[in-house]
């Protein structure tokens, strides 16, 4: 029997906002964890303080 599996790949992950977990390292640094609503992979984002731009958030990407 031959079965085809379709894997949906996200170019831009859509975080599930109700399930975001936050790990704060300091006032300026934090890591955010959740899963993508489309592909259901674990994703993360982080923020940091930049002297020129203030607090900057990274794009959501697949967790390692």
Cα separation, 3 vs 38, whole angstroms: 22
7 within a domain of the structure (yes/no): no
10 within a domain of the structure (yes/no): no
25 within a domain of the structure (yes/no): yes
11 within a domain of the structure (yes/no): no
- The CA angle 53-36-29, to the nearest 5 degrees, is 30
Domain hosting 41: range is 17-62
39 within a domain of the structure (yes/no): yes
Question: From the CA atom positions of the chain, what is the Rg in Å?
Answer: 15
For every one of its 64 residues, what pLDDT tens digit does the chain have, with 9 covering 90 and above?
556 655 557 888 999 999 999 999 887 789 999 999 999 999 999 998 888 999 899 999 998 8
21 within a domain of the structure (yes/no): yes
Q: Would the pTM of this model clear 0.85, i.e. be above it?
A: no
C-beta atoms surrounding 26 within 10 Å? 8
Number of domains, the chain: 1
């Amino acid at each position: 029997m031959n079965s085809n599996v379709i894997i949906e790949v996200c170019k831009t992950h859509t975080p599930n906002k109700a399930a975001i977990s936050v790990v704060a390292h300091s006032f300026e640094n934090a890591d955010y964890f959740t899963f993508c609503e489309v592909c259901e992979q674990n994703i993360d984002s982080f923020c940091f303080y930049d002297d020129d731009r203030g607090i900057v958030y990274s794009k959501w990407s697949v967790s390692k």
